[in-house]
Structure 1
Amino acid sequence: MSVDAVHAADLQAERTHGEGSLRTWLANSRVLAWRQLLVYVRNVPTVLQSLIIPAVSLVLIKVVLGDAVGDATGQDSLYGTVPLMILVGAMGGSMVSAIRLNKERSTGLLARLYVLPINRAADLTSRVLAETVRILVVTLILLAVGSAMGFRFSEGVPAAIALIAVPVVFGSAYAVFVLAIAVNSPAGAPLVQYLGLLMNVLMFFNSGFSPIDAYPGWLQPIVANQPMTPGIDLMRSLAAGGPITMNLIKVAIWAAIFVGASIYPALVGYRKAATSR
């Protein structure tokens, strides 16, 4: 969708309510989110990478590990690896959005959007909304793959809906964090390398691959409280039963940290990125 189309779609709302109104912000965010989704789906390699690779990885983990985790824990390893790969897919896809934002900054698109009579926060909001939709789709696909392999919801429909909400909320909060990094990084910065390093550390030190008590004693508190582990444990409990309250609190805390620490830097960084050309 072109910038002119964005302008035309929201012109009436802007004239009626003003650029800074809540109604204009919501209208602008909706249209710009649609633009982000169109850009995403038209990039076939990116779509395949963000949707297919997590699903293939889930199958490969099951094939490689087999029942080793289940024999050690008494529970099917799918109840750890399915939540793990859902979070990996949710968080990993945010890197693509960050790279696109950084590229649009260097091409001048951010500057062009910034001078339009639209709400100043709408573009950033639209990117988070688009990430929320992508995360929901990835979650549903991976749950379908997991279900075909034996993953089951034994706690009922409300728990299943709550399980789906966990990666959507957590992943959207993480997307705010990643976008804040993107707008405050120099054009062409190696975001993939930096964020990929963070992802690799989190991916291999959590409760999805192995129970926490299987890690060395000094490492267990780190593994138990890193961002991904509470989400994995919460989704496991919502699917197969288990403690919920403490993991729900930890997920909420991490989501609040990501959003609270990122909103102001994201808004300030976006303004600087859009006006620096």
Structure 2
Amino acid sequence: MTAVLDRSSVGLVSASTTLAGRKIRAAVRSGDATFALLSPAVFFVCFYTPLHRRFEAGGGDYAQFLTPLILVQAGLFAAIAAIESAGADARAGTRMRMMSMPISRLAPVVARMTWVSVRMVMSIAAGVAIGVALGFRFDGSPTDTALFVFLLVVFAVSVSLLTDAVGTVVTGSAAIAGVLMIPQLVLVMASTGLVPAEGFPGWAQPFVRNQPVSVLTEALRDLASGRDVDDVAVTAWSVGLFAAGVLAVTVAGRRQFHR
């Protein structure tokens, strides 16, 4: 008679917490945690230093304008790191070992996304600290500030779910992570994060205004400044990306399990 594995013997929360702790410690040892803290400074050097005088010549505050984009880009880098993490687990056979244990099949993914959330909060703290030093301020309510952080974490987790799924089923995840630098660069450069939409050719402006990096960046600027937010656009992108991420890891998990 074939024994039936009781996956309820270890709860999802308990298993995920244990695995997340291991993932966080591994990230500290590998330097990924350090990169999460330092990357916003690198982004500020790349974007703020060469552009702020030109922007502020017109009377604007470039730190207030740029900081949300820096944090959105940190979320994209979290997703690129996530594909490498998932790929490393797949190559090491971690998923298959987890499947032989009495834990939920969701636990490894939840653990990796817990680290993504922690990583993103670290990047937010570091990025805001640098932004404040350069003039960035939260002028909205405490609720606006909480929603500012929440939207960034949701974005990071959503895009990381997508890349996690890719890293789980595709060999050569490190190479794919390098390739993903190209679309993330396009999304950042062709967005309202660096310059207003009016600074782009007319034919490109509809894409620039409505792509997810622009929509999220504009929502974050509004929240930081205490202005009304375009709830429909940012909610649609947030829910859509998260749903796509959940679907992707579900499909990847089934494919991995049935190999």
Give the TM-score normalised by the residue count of structure 1. 0.84
- C-alpha distance in 2 between matches for 1:108 and 1:237: 45
Aligned pair partner of 2:21 in 34, 38, 41:
34
Matches within 5 A, 1:121-132: 121-132=106-117
Pick aligned residue for 1:50 from 16, 25, 36: 36
Structure 1: where are the runs of 5+ without partners?
1-14
Distance 1:81 1:32 in 2: 35
Q: 2:248 aligns with which of 265, 270, 275?
A: 265
1:109 aligns with 2:109: no
Cα root mean square deviation, aligned: 2.2
**Structure 2 residue 71 is matched with structure 1 residue 86:** yes
Identity %: 24
* Number of positions where the alignment pairs a residue of Structure 1 with one of Structure 2: 255
Deviation at 1:20, TM superposition (A): 4.8
Q: Which runs of 4+ in 1 moved over 4 A?
A: none
In the alignment, residue 30 of structure 1 is paired with which amino acid? T
SS of equivalent residue, structure 1 residue 243: coil
Does residue 1:96 correspond to 2:74, yes or no? no
Shift of 1:270: 2.6
State the match for 2:236 in structure 1.
Answer: 253
User: CA 1:53 to 1:137, structure 2 compared with 1: closer, same or farther past 3 Å?
Assistant: closer
Amino acid at match of 1:80: F
Aligned residue identity for 1:63: T
Query: Partner letter of residue 25 of structure 2?
Result: L
The residue type equivalent to 1:250 in the other structure is A
Q: Does 1:164 align with 2:152?
A: no
Please tell me the residue identity of whatever aligns with 2:253.
Y
Which stretch shifts more, 94-103 or 135-144? 94-103
Instruction: Write the mapping of 1:159-238 to structure 2, written as runs, cut at 5 A.
Output: 159-188=144-173, 190-238=175-223
**Cα deviations across residues 51-88 of structure 1 (Å, max 9, x unaligned)?**
2132132144222112322334x431112211111111
* Cα distance in 1, alignment partners of residues 144 and 173 from structure 2: 42
AA matched with 2:18:
V
Contact 1:40 1:47 in 2 (8 A): yes
- Name the stretch that deviates more: 29-38 or 248-257: 248-257
Tell me how far apart the structure 2 counterparts of residues 162 and 268 of structure 1 sit (CA, whole Å). 30
Q: Contact 1:180 / 1:263 at 8 angstroms: preserved in 2?
A: no
Unaligned segments of structure 2, at least 5 residues: none
Matched, 1:119 2:112: no
Aligned to 1:19: 7
Query: TM-score scaled by structure 2?
Result: 0.90
Q: Deviations over 1:156-213 (max 9, x none)?
A: 3222222222211211111111112222323446222231111111110111110012
Answer yes or no: is the 8 Å Cα contact 1:82–1:142 preserved in 2.
yes
Q: 1:55 to 1:129 in 2, by over 3 A?
A: same
2:47 aligns with 61
- The AA in structure 1 aligned to 2:83 is A
SS of structure 1 residue aligned to 2:109? helix
